[in-house]
Chain A
Amino acid sequence: MDLNLDAPHSMGTTIIGVTYNGGVVLGADSRTSTGMYVANRASDKITQLTDNVYVCRSGSAADSQVVSDYVRYFLHQHTIQLGQPATVKVSANLIRMLAYNNKQNMLQTGLIVGGWDKYEGGKIYGIPLGGTVVEQPFAIGGSGSSYLYGFFDQAWKENMTKEEAEQLVVKAVSLAIARDGASGGVVRTVIINSEGVTRNFYPGDKLQLWHEELEPQNSLLDILNAAGPEPMAM
């Protein structure tokens, strides 16, 4: 069994960020794996940086946690010095600086920064492995994103409503969970707009079933305890 419990903690992951008419919706799965073992089946990969900016983390769990901790600290200082909330662009830039300048130190984390500020409105910035920063209307990341490129090409449209955007994100994450072994658990979404932040939670058994997926069982114990066939009579 490829069960290396000493393997570094990685988040196989599916992370998504989309803009809509008035803000952004960030979404992620909740599986953290150590080799082939699921170390945490209910992790929260959408981390707060400031009141109005959140980041979706993927790749090495340790690296992404440390990067987001540093950036949260820098942004806190920056907010105090600036005297007003930090912009999404500044947050993305700080993350990019850490990611790019630590390339030689084998930093392995892909991030999607999303938030709302009064100057630019809702914005999504993708910061993949090398340390580029790209402003996009929607961004996908993590191992599960491979299965979503075609889906987004077809399903994405400009100026969606908040409900449409969240439905899209939930559908996309659950599709990726169905196909990617390294993604799973629950779907978490965070909606950020001028009014504030809303966190939502979609447990695995409430998600739509896709091609050949089985109904979720509460526990194997239920199946085992179910009445078996009558014993054969000699």
Chain B
Amino acid sequence: MTQSSVDLPPKGGFSFDLCKRNDMLTQKGLKAPSFLKTGTTIVGLIFKDGVILGADTRATEGPIVADKNCEKIHYMAPNIYCCGAGTAADTEAVTDMVSSQLRLHRYQTGRDSRVITALTLLKKHLFNYQGHVSAALVLGGVDITGPHLHTIYPHGSTDTLPFATMGSGSLAAMSVFEAKYKEGLTRDEGIKLVAEAICSGIFNDLGSGSNVDICVITKGHKEYLRNYMEPNPRTYVSSKGYSFTKKTEVLLTKITPLSERVEIVEVAGEAMEE
């Protein structure tokens, strides 16, 4: 048998090779590294009249939940929304940037934005950064050419699919979609399926949790259902509320919302002349 160095592809299943080594290291006093994950479950599916996007609302900082109710469904255009998984700063920044570019493009062309435009802008940016901008996105919208759903990976590759999932909870959500998705779902069936898929991620993936956000986009109309489902309510709340120590001096008990002090005046602009 000739001895050739061939890179064997990694085997599926569990590999226990390093367990002995890890035991030895912990015995010697080395702390095991903490579990770092980019949590999230984001999904999208195409139904009869358009696109439904869904996301969980947990933002993690290592093992700690940094934000229990963050917004992962980002606005790109009146008819296009984008769910983002991966590094929160990267998804926010890249979706904001492309959203601005789309608005300028709308002013230039005088037409509604198309999903494929958003797709090309996003994939070009991500490819240029060779995967270092860690943003995995599910982009969905309805434009003049119909409903579209795309996934965009950090390295810049894209897929066009009838249903898609991304993030650490993507496997849990995809199992729900693969079992129950069919073409021509109604709005209610679609919302129910998306909620089910996100819940599957919330309950089975450590990196996803809290509530379910849903966004339904149809021709000429969109519905952003923030916190559509809250399957993780805070079960115990102390009846006493927060009690300050006795030494605290109370200066003022009236709360004045700042918006009352500001007067918003709409100035009617002049109509643009052709």
Contact = CB atoms under 8 A, between A and B. Distances in A.
A233 B11 CA distance: 42
A1 B12 contact: yes
Contact of B168 (A5, A62, A66): A5
B9 A65 contact: no
Interface in A165-196: 181-182
A5 B9 CA distance: 16
Interface in B1-54: 9-15, 38
Interface string A1-35: 11101101100000000000000000000001011
A9 B10 contact: no
B156 A2 contact: no
Given A2-B12, A8-B155, A9-B155, A66 B127 contact: yes
A1 B13 CA distance: 5
Contacts of B265: none
A62 B170 contact: no
A9 B12 contact: no
Contact of A34 (B153, B156, B167): B153
A61 B153 contact: yes
A32 B153 CA distance: 12
A6 B13 CA distance: 18
A100 interface: no
Interface residues of B, number: 27
A37 interface: yes
A43 interface: yes
B226 interface: no
B11 A61 contact: no
Nearest to B168: A5
Interface stretch (B58-66, B157-165, B240-248): B157-165
Given A39-B159, A221-B179, A62 B127 contact: yes
A134 interface: no
Given A40-B161, A60-B155, A62-B156, A8 B131 contact: yes
Contacts of A66: 123, 127, 156
Would you list the 7 A-B pairs with minimal beta carbon distance, nearest first?
A: A61-B157, A62-B157, A2-B10, A62-B156, A62-B155, A9-B157, A40-B159
27 contacts: A1-B13, A1-B14, A2-B11, A2-B15, A5-B170, A6-B38, A6-B154, A8-B131, A8-B154, A9-B155, A9-B157, A36-B12, A37-B171, A39-B153, A39-B159, A40-B161, A43-B159, A60-B155, A60-B157, A61-B153, A61-B155, A61-B157, A62-B155, A65-B158, A66-B123, A66-B127, A221-B179
Given A5-B167, A39-B151, 14 more contacts: A1-B14, A2-B11, A2-B12, A6-B134, A8-B157, A39-B159, A40-B159, A62-B131, A62-B153, A62-B155, A65-B123, A66-B127, A182-B9, A219-B179
Interface of A: 1-3, 5-6, 8-9, 32, 34-37, 39-40, 42-43, 60-62, 65-66, 181-182, 219, 221
